[in-house]
Amino acid sequence: MLRKFPFRKIIVYLVYILLFSCFQVSFPGTISFHGQIADLTFVFVVLTGYFFGFGDAAVVGIITGLIRDSFASPAVMSLDGTVQVTAGLGILVLFLAGAAGSSFFTQKMHRNLPFAFLAVIFLTFCYKVIGNLLEFFWIKILAGGVYNVTPMSCLTDSIIPQVMLNFLASIPIVFLLKFMGPYRRGGNDKKDDVIKAYGDSSWLRI
């Protein structure tokens, strides 16, 4: 028997992708602290992976990353000193975020709610640390420039504020995904057999 076409799943994901992407681009300073901005799309993709598996997170991450690259692609200084707009970085970051979220103790902890917040906190921390290390490596090592950011200022002005903001942003997003998410309530979406049956594999059947 063929499974019904997942209209609800597609519509809900599209609405949330457009909602978080548009809010992120249109009102970047609404949720900010210490110069950092809550990364709604990052949090959304991580939680999608955590609750609904790799298949959903991969597709959502790629689409959201494409929108991110189209409207808010970061600029970096190239080795010849000119500023270049990056391409594909948002897709890569959000795809990896979704993949990491889908494997963050999901089987061990059965995708329970407290670990969803811990996943956002931990992956945001990793994302910021890796980003700052890459920035240091690019400016100091490859470009031969001056990198004036100390480890302590990096921690207090970049990493900690971003972790706090993303944690706060995760609270309403968790509520939306759990109670108004892409799957009807009634099944136990914490069980990995349900995730495999209705999450990871169903995109392949569209």
The whole-angstrom separation of Cα 156 and Cα 178 is 32
Judge whether residue 23 has pLDDT over 60.
yes
Q: Which residue has the higher pLDDT, 4 or 83?
A: 4
**pLDDT: which is higher, 135 or 97:** 97
Q: Which domain holds residue 136?
A: 7-205
Of the given ranges (55-59, 151-155, 184-188), which has the lowest mean pLDDT?
Answer: 184-188
The per-residue DSSP string of 35-77 comes to TEE--HHHHHHHHHHHHH-HHHHHHHHHHHHHHHHHHH--EEE
Residue found by looking up tokens 């100091």 in the block: 140
20 within domain boundaries: yes
The CA-to-CA distance between both ends of the chain, in Å, stands at 15
User: Is the model's pLDDT at 204 over the cut of 50?
Assistant: no
175: confidence class by pLDDT, cuts 50, 70, 90: very high
3-class DSSP state of 166:
helix
Q: Give yes or no for a contact between 148 and 20, defined as CB atoms under 8 angstroms apart.
A: no
Task: Specify the CATH number for the domain of residue 29.
Answer: 1.10.1760
In the chain, the amino acid numbered 61 is G
Which residue do the tokens 């994302």 mark? 127
Q: Which residues contact 160 (CB under 8 A, 6 or more apart)?
A: none
Which pLDDT does position 198 carry in this prediction? 45
Q: Are 97 and 123 in contact (CB under 8 A)?
A: yes
Total of domains in the chain: 1
Residue-level pLDDT at 170: 96
Q: What is the pLDDT of residue 57?
A: 95
In a domain? residue 107: yes
Any domain includes 160: yes
For residue 1, the model assigns a pLDDT of: 44
**Please, which pLDDT band fits residue 203 given cuts at 50, 70 and 90?**
very low
1, part of any domain: no
| Mean pLDDT (whole number) for 61-65 | 95
Instruction: Return the minimum-mean-pLDDT range out of 13-17, 24-28, 156-160.
Output: 24-28
2 lies in some domain = no
Q: Which amino acid is at 41?
A: T
**Which tokens in the block code for residue 205?**
């059947």
36: β partners: 33
CA distance 107 to 53: 11
User: Which tokens in the block code for residue 128?
Assistant: 């910021």
Whole-Å CA distances, 74 to 65, 90, 154: 12, 9, 19
Between 25-34, 76-85, 155-164, the lowest mean confidence (pLDDT) is in: 76-85
- Tell me how far apart the alpha carbons of residues 127 and 24 are, in angstroms, rounded to a whole number: 18
Residue 30's pLDDT is what?
A: 72
Q: What are the tens digits of pLDDT across the range 108-154? A: 666 778 889 999 999 999 999 998 888 878 776 665 666 677 888 88
pLDDT of residue 151: 81
Cα separation of 167 and 5, whole Å?
34
Average predicted confidence (pLDDT) for the chain: 81
